[in-house]
Every structure is written in structure tokens, then in C-alpha cells.
Chain A
Amino acid sequence: MLKIKNLHVSINGKQILRGLNLEVNRGEVHAIMGPNGTGKSTLANVIAGKPGYHIDKGEIIFKGKNILELPPEVRAQEGIFLGFQYPVEIPGVSMTNFMRTAVNEHRKYKGLDPMPAGEFLKLMKEKQQLVEIHAKLTNRSVNEGFSGGEKKKNEIFQMAMLEPELAILDETDSGLDIDALKIVANGVNKLKTKDNATIVITHYQRLLDYIVPDFVHILFDGKIVKSGGKELALILEEKGYEWIKDESPN
């Protein structure tokens, strides 16, 4: 479903990704781990189409199409979802209005009519339960005044509403206590099907106790330096990132 080939990305002339390769198929969960500043968030942002990055080389193929020229909204409509590390507060835009617009834009892209209001509200209610969000939150402005945990739950709620084929969760575990972490992980697991895929980006192994990956990749210095099964995360936890630095050829 997703093929990233020899991706080189820089920002303000500074190279961040230097020849990254990754392949993700339907039904798979991939974890990308690595120390801070090695390009994890850059990778997530570049797949989602955030402006400000310069693609020096390489391509990102999603469902057989090179998506690098597509604006972020079209990538989203094609089925890519980014769960933000720092969800943005948007005062004045209600969650309900935001989600209704988003859901209907997705439907328009697929050639469907807007969802009737009653049906939409029912859908909201159903998906809220998935991440144990209270109705109160959806009446408020997008992320405004939400706690760290609420913001992350809200990301998974939006993912549930939009049913992406590929979800990239950028440090979804950061700033979560163990209870919130379980709720978020549980939500992600419930949304997993044989047709979609998830990329979990994390600094710590902790999240992977709850979202069990099929593959673990270690990102270091702008490249994936090691890939393996879920046991790789455990070795990493035990030996620390110093181990990777020692193993790394540079």
C-alpha cells in the first residue's frame, strides 16, 4: 500500500532524511522508533503533506500513485491520516462542525452525497465511545482547553470518524498516563482491519505493549538502520539507543 523509496528530505537546507526506504502493506502495524531528532516526525509530516519540507530525492507511492505532488487534503481523502504529536487548538471551530466538514469532504471525493445530520450525529456518538470521549468535548472548539490526554484521544476519535487506510500516529503516547495510554491503544486496536495499516511512531517501547507491531524499524540519522519483529523493540529498550549508535556504520 505504501512504498517509500530512497527518500531524501531537507528543511531550510538542512538534511533530515537521507535515503529512507519503507514498505507497508494492508493489515500491518509498523513501529518506527529512534532517538530524538533523527527524522521521525519529519517522515510523518512528509507523508501527510505538510508544507515547508524540501524533497531532494526519492518518492512516496501510496496505492500505486506518487503522492508527493498532492496537497495534504487530497492525501487525506485518498486515505492517509496523521495523528499529530501536538494537536493544534483551533478556537472558534467546533469539533462537530470540523468533523462534519471533514467527513463530507471525504464523501464528496468518493462521489457520495453529504451525510444526513441524524446519521452523522449517530456516527459521532458511536466513535466517541471507542475512545471514551464525553459528549461535552465534541461541543467544544477543536482541542481548545483539552488536556494532553484528551487531545490524543481526540486524534484517535478523528481517525475513527475518517476510517483511513493508512494511519500514522506520531508520538501518540507522549504525555499520556497509563490509563489514557490504554484507552488510546485500545481504540487503535479496535480500528485495525485486514485492509488498513498503521504506522506508530514512538520514542519508547511502552506503547508497543498495547499496540503490538508486526514490524519495528529503527530510524537513525535520517535512515532506517535496522528492521525486525516486535522483539527489536525489547532489545532497544534493554540496550538503549547507544547500541544503535555503536552499530551504525557512521
Chain B
Amino acid sequence: METKYNDIIFKEKVVSLFEQNRAQIGANDTTRMSKERDVAFKQFKKVGFPNKKMEAWRNTNLKDVFAYNYNIQFSPADEKPELIEAFQCNIHNFDTQTITLYNGWYLSEDKHLITLPNGTIIGSLAQAIKEYPELVQKHYNKYTNIEENGLIALNTAFSQDGIFIYVPDNVKTYKTIQMVNILDKEDNLFIQNRNLIIVGKNAKLTILHCDDSYNYSRSFTNTVTEVFIDEGAEVDHYKLQNLNDNSTLINTTYFHQELQSKLTTNSITLNGGLIRNKINVVLNGEGGEANVFGVYLVDKEQHIDSQVFVDHAKANCNSDELFKGIIDDNATAVFNGHILVRKDSQHTNASQTNRNVQLTDKATVYTKPFLEIYADDVKCNHGATIGQLDEEALFYIKSRGIGDYDARLLLLYAFAAEVINKISIATLRESIDDLVKKRLRGELAICDQCVLQCKDQENTYEFKIDISKI
């Protein structure tokens, strides 16, 4: 008798769903996009979902994710959240332009695409394909690699909507654009949204990308984001993740940087069932700078996987990677850093650091720094540590009359703060700082960071790292 594995069953399901709904899925496609969709689908059919036999997925097993059944929506649901008016950022004194994806679909009351006074266009990708096909087509699917893994191919085959942002040349958007993905569905959802961000020459953009759960339902999100950063442009990108323990989020971002552009991306993971943040950066012009930071706080059975690939494709670029994590209970953290310095990329400056505090014997950390260097005149370093809190520092703090619990809290907070302090917007930094403190004290609830201001939620759901265990 043949036993079918869950991932095979799920693969067959999505394959047949694609074939049945092909027309609806590609309703807005340009000819090129439609072709690429079919190519991507073929690729997915060939390779299927990633599995543990693949080097990049050795420590992240999706097996348990496929043990559940998921539904796919091929059109936005009719029902809208009741609290649509309440959609606003709860970071005080922080002026943002908020755009929302609701279960993967762009949510708005009327217009699906807004043009700001400075010419910046923000809104739904599906709408952008209709209104600006040339612009979208110039960048869409140009920076992804569908051969990277089956999920990238699958997203490319299935994607229908997502966030679109276009900042014209020389436009500096000082107002932060906040992209919020809200998951709110009683039944299990499989969501594959696709975001495209185009930042013109010498333009500036700050984006805050939030992934929030609204309830405790199971979900599987496979997001692909492409960010094109043209010559001399500057992008500040923050990812804030506070999902329930039943959510799986595979987040793949491709940053493509041209001459003298600057990128800072910071992934802050406060909670989530299984989260994989794959960050690809291509430094495709001289004088480029990429700062890739992250901090993760995980406990219970949670799993966080940070994968960073920085391609120094041109000479005279700098990249700086710093990921720090606190791992409690039976949680697992994976870090894979890969810096590629190509043959002609002389005078590359690259640094890669991953530090972990492991709070229990059952917490697991896999960290693999990796440098691949073909140029001979470069400065590269890497370092990875897994450890406990510094006993000397603990004694120093206690010798001043501060008790054990507070001393550990101070040190853990300080450990995470190195990454938090790199957030350049003061109000955002303070808010995230506060969230991290709450998380460490076990006072963070699922609602704390969510943009929906529904404080009367029945369930209080708290995330707790137990400091007494170290």
C-alpha cells in the first residue's frame, strides 16, 4: 500500500486548485506575467514543497504544517472586519500611512490605489497591474528566483494581490508607510500574497511591515516581497511579527540595490508558531550599503528561522548583518548567513554576526555563518555564539542590590537592545523597546501590537519568556 505524505497530499490539492482556478487567478495578468505564472507553476509541480533533505531547509521542517488542511481564497471575502475605522497604528506620536492586507487581500473602503501629493503611489498590487502595467511589469518577478525553492514558485503561480508601493525619483517620503497583514478567519487559511516596492533614483522610503494575528486560528502564509532600490535611493524597512502560536509564516524578501543605494532592514520577531524570514540582498551597484538586522524572542514550541543571503555583485559595497535571539522552553532558532563576494567585487566590507541566548537545555539553536569570497582585496568577518548570560555581569548588577530576576531581565533586555537601538525612528524605537520589555516580562498579549484597537477581546493571550530558568 502506498502511503502519501501530507506535503504530497497538499501539493496535489494546490496543483488541482490552480488548474481549476487558472483563469480567475490570472485575470489581471499581462501576457508576460501570465507566461511566468505558468512557468512557475510547472516549477512547483516539479519540485513540490521544500523538505528536510534540502540543505537550506535542514533545520526547518514543514511536515507539521501540512498535517492540517488549509483553504485558499481566490477572491477577497465579502465580509469586511467591523473595526475598519479603527485601523490605525497604535504606536503613539507616530504618523504613518497605513495600508492593510486582510487575509492576504488589499483592504480599503473605496480606492484600491492612492497617489500621495508627492507622487508616491500606494495600494493594491492587483489594481496596480491594471492601472500601471508597464511600471509593474518592469520589476515584477525580476528579482525573485523561482528555483530557490518550491514556495517561491508557488507564490509566483498563485499570487493575486498584495501591496504595491512606487516612490518616484527624488521623492522623499518622510511619512512612514505601514503595511499590515492581518489574519482573521475562523477556518485555516493558506495565504500567498505578493508585494512589490519600487523606489526611484535618490528617493527615500520608510516602511513598517507588520504581521499580526487577530485570532487563534491556524494559518499558513507564504509571502514574497520584491524591493527595487534605484541609484542613490534609501530604504528603511522594519518587520514586526507578532503572530499566534498556530501560524506559519514563510516570508521571503528580495532586495535589489543599485549604485550608492542604502538599505536598512530590521526583523523583529516577538511571537509566532513557525516563522522563516528569508532575506536576499543583491548589491548590484558600487557604493551600496546593506544593513540587515534582526532580533527574535521565542519560547514554547516556536520555531524561528532567519536566512540571509547577501550578494556583493559589485565592488566597493558594505554590508552589515546582526541577528540576536533569546530562545526559551523547547523553542528552536535557526540562522543561516551567506555572504557571497564575487570575483570583481574588490574593497568589499562585509560583517555577519549571530548571537543567541539559550535559556533552557531543551531550547535548540542552529547557527551557520558562511562566507564565500572570490575577490582578494576585501574585509569580511563573521561570528556566531550560543550562550547563557554573562555570570560576571550578573554578579556586578546584583552586587548593587538588584535582585536575580531584575538582573537577568536587565541583561536580556540589554542583549536585545543592541538591535533595537539600530531603529532610526525614535518613536518607533521606543514602542518596539516597550514591546520587547513586555515580552520579556511576560506581559505581551497578542493584541498589544495589533493595529485593531479591540482591547475588549475575550481571550487574553500572553507570551512569556521565563527568566527564572536561567
Partner of B395 from A51, A93, A162 at Cβ < 8 Å: A51
Contact partners of A162 in chain B: CB under 8 A: 400-401
* A71 on interface, CB distance cutoff 8 Å: yes
Stretch binding the partner chain, chosen from B31-39, B300-308, B413-421: B413-421
On whether the beta carbons of B400 and A90 are closer than 8 Å, the reply is no
B414 adjacent to A109 (CB under 8 Å):
no
| Residue interface bits A24-48, CB-to-B below 8 A is 1, else 0 | 0000000000000000000000001
* A76–B398 touching, CB < 8 Å: yes
For the complex, is B65 an interface residue (Cβ under 8 Å from A)?
Answer: no
Q: Is the CB of A72 within 8 A of B414?
A: no
Task: Establish whether residues A106 and B401, one from each chain, have CB atoms under 8 Å apart when the complex forms.
Answer: yes
Residue with the greatest number of chain A CB neighbours at <10 A, chosen from B399, B403, B404: B399
Q: Is B411 an interface residue (CB 8 A)?
A: yes
**Once the chains are docked, how many angstroms separate the CA of A48 from the CA of B396?**
10
Given A51-B395, A87-B396, A92-B413 contact (CB < 8 Å):
yes
> B320 near A: Cβ within 8 Å?
no
Q: Are A71 and B399 in contact (CB under 8 A)?
A: no
Does B392 belong to the interface (CB within 8 Å)?
Answer: yes
**A30, B390: Cα distance in complex, Å:** 32
User: When the two chains form their complex, are residues B397 and A105 in contact, meaning their CB atoms are under 8 A apart?
Assistant: no
- The interface residues of chain A lying within 8 Å CB-to-CB of B401 are 73, 76-77, 102, 105-106, 109, 162
Contacts of B421 in A (CB 8 A): 92
8 Å CB interface, A80-110 against B: 81-82, 84, 87-88, 90-93, 97-99, 101-102, 105-106, 109
Give chain B's interface secondary structure class.
Answer: helix
Contact between A90 and B414, CB atoms less than 8 A apart: yes
Point out the residues of chain B lying under 8 angstroms from A49, CB to CB: 398-399
Measured between C-beta atoms, what is the minimum distance from B383 to chain A in Å?
Answer: 15
Residue B399 contacts which of A48, A97, A101, A141 (CB distance < 8 angstroms)?
Answer: A48
CA distance A50 to B421 in the complex (A): 31
Report the interface size for chain A: residues with CB under 8 A from the other chain: 30
Contact of B393 among A88, A109, A158 (CB under 8 A): A88
CB distance from B412 to the nearest CB of A (A): 10
CA distance A177 to B167 in the complex (A): 57
Which residues of B lie under 8 Å from residue A72 when comparing CB positions? 395, 398-399
Q: In whole angstroms, what is the CA distance A50 to B391 when docked? A: 10
- Give every chain A residue within 8 A of B390 (Cβ-Cβ): 88
A49-B399, A51-B395, A98-B397 as given contacts; A91 in contact with B414, CB under 8 Å = yes
Residues from chain B with Cβ under 8 Å of A87 in the complex: 396
* A196 to B226 CA separation, bound complex (whole angstroms): 66
Within B406-431, the residues touching A (CB, 8 Å) are 406-407, 410-411, 413-418, 421
A84, B414: Cβ atoms under 8 Å? no
State the CA gap A91–B390 with chains docked (Å).
12
Q: CB distance A101 to B398 under 8 Å?
A: no
User: Which residues on the A side are within 8 Å of B406 (C-beta)?
Assistant: 101, 105
Least CB distance, A52 to chain B, in whole angstroms: 8
Interface size on B, residues (CB 8 A): 25
Known pairs A50-B395, A51-B395, A90-B397; A71 contacts B404 (CB<8 A): yes
Interface centre among A71, A81, A102 (most CB of B within 10 A): A102
Report chain A residues within 8 Å CB of B400.
73, 76, 98-99, 102, 105, 158, 162
The answer to whether the Cβ of B402 comes within 8 Å of any Cβ in the partner chain is yes
Closest to B412 in A: A92
CB-CB < 8 A to B416: which residues of A?
Answer: 92
Closest residue of chain B to A82, judged by CB? B399
CA–CA, A72 and B394, complex, Å: 10
Check if B417 sits within 8 Å of A76, measured CB to CB.
no
Which residue of chain B has its CB nearest to the CB of A164? B401
In the complex, what residue of chain B is closest to A75 when comparing beta carbons? Answer: B399
On chain A, the residues within 8 Å of B404 by CB distance are 71, 73
* Closest-CB distance, B403 to chain A (whole angstroms): 5
Q: Are B410 and A98 within 8 A (Cβ)?
A: yes
Candidates B391, B396, B398, B399; contact of A90 at CB < 8 Å: B396
Which A residues are in CB contact (< 8 Å) with B418? 91-92
Could you tell me the distance between the alpha carbons of A84 and B395 in the complex, rounded to whole angstroms?
11
Query: Contact: B402 with A101, CB < 8 Å?
Result: yes
- Of listed B390, B398, B404, B410, residue having the most chain A CB within 10 A: B398
Chain B residues with CB under 8 Å of A105's CB are 400-403, 406
CA distance A72 to B413 in the complex (A): 21
Q: Which residue of the partner chain B has the closest CB to A48?
A: B399
- Cα A86 to Cα B399 in complex, Å, equals 14
A102's partner among B402, B413, B414 (CB-CB below 8 A) is: B402
Enumerate B364-414 residues with CB–CB distance to A below 8 Å. 390-393, 395-404, 406-407, 410-411, 413-414
Contact B415–A92 (Cβ < 8 Å): yes
Interface centre among B392, B402, B413 (most CB of A within 10 A): B402
A92 CB to nearest B CB, Å: 3
Whether the Cβ atoms of B393 and A90 lie closer than 8 Å is: yes
Question: CA A101 – CA B398 in complex, angstroms?
Answer: 11
Chain B residues lying within 8 Å of A84, measured Cβ to Cβ, are 396, 399
User: Smallest Cβ distance from A24 to chain B, in angstroms?
Assistant: 18
Docked pose: A98 CA to B417 CA in angstroms: 15
- The answer to whether B395 and A101 touch across the interface, beta carbons within 8 angstroms, is no
Asked whether B398 lies within 8 Å of A73 as measured between CB atoms, the reply is yes
**Cβ < 8 Å to B, chain A residues 174-191:** none
Q: How far is the CA of A159 from the CA of B47 in the complex (A)?
A: 66
Q: Interface code A138-180, partner B: CB below 8 Å = 1, 0 otherwise?
A: 0001000000000000000010001000000000000000000
Across the A-B interface, the 5 shortest Cβ-Cβ residue pairs: A92-B414, A76-B401, A92-B417, A88-B396, A102-B400
Interface residues of A (CB under 8 A from B): 48-51, 71-73, 75-77, 81-82, 84, 87-88, 90-93, 97-99, 101-102, 105-106, 109, 141, 158, 162
Supply 28 A–B pairs (Cβ within 8 Å), ascending by A.
A71-B403, A72-B399, A73-B398, A73-B403, A73-B407, A76-B400, A77-B401, A84-B399, A87-B396, A88-B390, A90-B396, A91-B418, A93-B397, A93-B410, A93-B411, A93-B414, A97-B410, A98-B400, A98-B410, A99-B400, A101-B406, A101-B410, A105-B406, A106-B401, A141-B414, A158-B400, A162-B400, A162-B401
Please give 15 more A-B residue pairs, beta carbons under 8 A apart, in addition to A50-B395, A73-B400. A50-B399, A72-B395, A76-B399, A77-B401, A81-B399, A88-B396, A90-B396, A92-B421, A93-B410, A93-B413, A98-B410, A101-B406, A105-B400, A105-B402, A105-B403
